[in-house]
């Protein structure tokens, strides 16, 4: 219990609440006096001793249940099969056979009312970057990512289809509704479980957060787990990384000039030496790439695309030509913004023209815009780069257009912050990925910098 109180105090401090050593000691004294048997008395003891400013009360009230539980475990609806007749059970078994094994297992688990184990929650949290999050504003967002990793959208759709099929097979309307409500309650309980776990882990991360943020830690932190202050630090860091990349790429290109021997040039040079090959000539292997980059600047991808554009702006000397485009629900050419000398000004101009909002991303429509107006920017010397998560809000992905784009380009690189296990729901990445030369996961700045290094020298 003492360690959890210390974690709470550390998390409060990391959240901006001033807690002195004397106040910490008062908290332990109050707990010794009031005890921990009565949860409400325990909560009030800590609140009275640790919080001195009314503006800090909401922070305390949000953190306390994350360290000491809410006292109310997620409600599960139970197993609907407990009340079914043998005939109805047989109907349900037959109806479930149409689904793929993995999807069927998840559906059956929901119907059984089984909660996720601690190990499963830990694995999901690791997958979505929860171990790097230290801002409680991202609690629901992280829980949503965990649900997406469990293919919740597909399960919900399948459950709806299952209810319709059971009704068609002759199950009574009342029984179908009973099953539907119980499954819905189980889904809600599992969602609450993930939200609670996400909050607990973020609170623990807060309690372990060092006073001075290490830039190496920030570079490994997922983009979606960054605070505004973190983003400012990384924007400065990306300029340093770009400068180092520019030097390294230029050095590689210089070394590449001493490439394969050129027999014809060597023979021509030897004529002035009466045919003796005194000068060995080499073929120039330097081949600066021509780049076409299409960036998703919607809310979820905005910062990743911003950093990618910063890299490309800084590396203009190492490419022949850059055609840059940005999209949310339509495509815009932003190449003209790269003509200036100030990268920050150019990128902010792009983001100002295309503000994030609540409208839906439509990559398919953006590809259609590209097909109609800019397809001639692609040829056999072009590297096509897509920066986006492939989420298309169930719009037409226009794979036909993307396939044509990929064929026209020398190579097609996709930079996506999400791993393949997250390519479900409204994600069309599973359709786009086979048409790409490479798909790089770029969930943080370090991964993005490594990807840029590889694509510029590959």
| Span 30-57, pLDDT tens digits | 888 887 888 888 888 888 888 888 888 9
* Helical packing angle, 2-14 and 21-34, nearest 10°: 140
Range of the domain at 14: 2-68
Of 60-64, 281-285, 306-310, which gets the smallest average pLDDT?
A: 281-285
- Whether residue 43 lies inside any domain: the answer is yes
Whether residue 204 is contained in a domain is answered as: no
Average pLDDT of the segment spanning 178-199: 86
**For the chain, how big is the Rg over CA atoms in Å?**
29
- 121 and 251 housed in the same domain: no
Read off the pLDDT of residues 202-241 as tens digits, 9 standing for 90 and up: 888 888 776 555 677 788 888 887 878 888 888 888 888 8
Structure tokens at 289: 């790439």
| Max CA pair span of the chain | 104
Same domain, 363 and 434: yes
Q: pLDDT per residue over 127-140, tens digit each?
A: 888 887 878 878 88
Can you give the pLDDT at residue 339? 65
* pLDDT for res 286: 47
Look at residues 46, 68, 90 and tell me which one is the last residue of a structural domain: 68
pLDDT at 73 exceeding the cut of 60 = no
Confidence bin at 376 (pLDDT 50/70/90): very high
Q: Is residue 328 part of a domain?
A: yes
Given a cut of 90, whether residue 353 has pLDDT beyond it is: no
Higher pLDDT, residue 257 or 105: 105
Whether 143 maps to a domain, the answer reads yes
pLDDT at 66: 85
| 105 in any annotated domain | yes
More confident residue, 310 or 433: 433
Q: Which of 42, 68, 94 is the last residue of a domain?
A: 68
d(CA 107, CA 99): 9
Shared domain for 109 and 234, answered yes or no, is no
More confident of the two residues 102 and 332: 332
Same domain (yes/no): 142, 61? no
The residue ranking higher by pLDDT, 156 or 437, is: 437
Phi, psi dihedrals of residue 410, rounded to the nearest 5°: -65, -40
Whether residue 347 sits in one domain with residue 235? yes
pLDDT of residue 351 exceeding 80: no
pLDDT beyond 70 at 253: no
Provide the mean pLDDT of the chain: 82
Q: Is residue 327 part of a domain?
A: yes
Same structural domain for residues 239 and 192?
A: no
Domain for residue 222, yes or no? no
> In the chain, pLDDT over 90 holds for what percent of residues?
15
Q: Are residues 121 and 158 in the same domain?
A: yes
pLDDT bin (cut points 50, 70, 90) of residue 80 is: low
| Overall domain count for the chain | 4
Distance CA 447, CA 450 (A): 5
Q: Are residues 316 and 425 in the same domain?
A: yes
- The residues with which 441 forms a beta bridge, in sequence order, are 416
Long-range interactions of 87-96: CB distance < 8 A, separation 24+: 88/171, 88/175, 91/166, 91/169, 91/170, 91/171, 92/166, 92/179, 94/169, 95/162, 95/165, 95/166, 95/169, 96/162
331 lies in the same domain as 397: yes
Name all contacts of 248-251 with Cβ < 8 Å and 24+ positions apart.
248/453, 249/315, 249/318, 249/453, 249/456, 249/457, 250/317, 250/318
379-420 pLDDT tens trace = 888 899 999 999 988 899 999 999 999 999 999 999 999 989
- 38-47, 63-72, 162-171, 436-445, range with the lowest pLDDT: 63-72
Tell me what percent of the residues of the chain surpass a pLDDT of 70: 86
pLDDT at 409: 93
Q: Is the pLDDT of residue 122 over 70?
A: yes
Q: Does residue 160 sit in the same domain as residue 236?
A: no
**447 shares its domain with 304:** yes
| Mean pLDDT computed over 321-343 | 80
Residue 440 sits in a domain whose CATH number is: 3.40.50.410
Please report whether residue 51 resides in a domain: yes
Q: Tell me how far apart the alpha carbons of residues 243 and 256 are, in angstroms, rounded to a whole number.
A: 20
Residues 411 and 306 grouped into a single domain: yes
């Amino acid at each position: 219990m003492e360690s959890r109180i210390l974690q709470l105090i550390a998390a409060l401090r990391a959240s901006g609440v001033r807690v002195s050593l004397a106040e910490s000691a008062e908290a332990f004294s109050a707990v010794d006096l009031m005890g921990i048997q009565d949860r409400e008395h325990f909560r009030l003891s800590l609140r009275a001793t640790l919080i001195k400013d009314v503006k800090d009360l909401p922070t305390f009230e949000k953190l306390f249940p994350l360290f000491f539980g809410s006292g109310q475990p997620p409600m599960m609806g139970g197993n609907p099969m407990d009340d079914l007749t043998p005939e109805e059970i047989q109907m349900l078994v037959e109806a479930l056979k149409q689904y793929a094994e993995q999807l069927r297992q998840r559906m059956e688990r929901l119907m059984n009312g089984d909660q996720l184990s601690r190990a499963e929650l830990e694995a999901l949290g690791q997958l979505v970057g929860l171990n790097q999050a230290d801002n409680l504003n991202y609690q629901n967002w992280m829980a949503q990512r965990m649900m997406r990793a469990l293919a919740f959208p597909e399960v919900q759709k399948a459950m709806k289809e299952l209810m319709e099929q059971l009704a068609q097979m002759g199950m009574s309307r009342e029984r179908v509704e009973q099953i539907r409500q119980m499954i819905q309650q189980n889904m809600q309980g599992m969602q609450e479980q993930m939200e609670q776990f996400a909050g607990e882990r973020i609170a623990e991360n807060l309690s372990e957060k060092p006073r001075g943020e290490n830039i190496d830690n920030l570079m490994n932190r997922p983009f979606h787990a960054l605070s505004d202050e973190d983003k400012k630090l990384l924007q400065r860091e990306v300029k340093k990384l770009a400068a180092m990349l520019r030097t390294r790429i230029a050095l590689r290109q210089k070394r590449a000039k001493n490439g394969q021997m050129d027999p014809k040039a060597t023979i021509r040079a030897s004529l002035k030496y009466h045919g003796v090959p005194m000068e060995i000539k080499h073929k120039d292997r330097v081949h600066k790439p021509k780049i076409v980059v299409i960036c998703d600047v919607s809310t979820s991808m905005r910062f990743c695309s911003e950093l990618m554009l910063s890299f490309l702006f800084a590396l203009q000397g190492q490419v022949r030509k850059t055609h840059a485009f940005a999209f949310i629900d339509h495509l815009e050419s932003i190449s003209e913004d790269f003509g200036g000398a100030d990268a920050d000004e150019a990128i902010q101009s792009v983001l100002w023209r295309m503000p994030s909002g609540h409208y839906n991303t439509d990559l398919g429509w953006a590809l259609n815009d590209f097909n109609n107006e800019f397809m001639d920017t692609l040829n056999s010397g072009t590297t096509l780069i897509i920066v986006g998560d492939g989420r298309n809000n169930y719009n037409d992905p226009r794979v036909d257009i993307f396939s044509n784009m990929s064929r026209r380009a020398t190579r097609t690189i996709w930079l996506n912050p999400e791993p393949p296990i997250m390519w479900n729901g409204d994600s069309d990445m599973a359709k786009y990925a086979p048409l790409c030369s490479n798909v790089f996961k770029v969930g943080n700045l370090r991964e993005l910098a490594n990807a840029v290094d590889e694509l510029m020298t590959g």
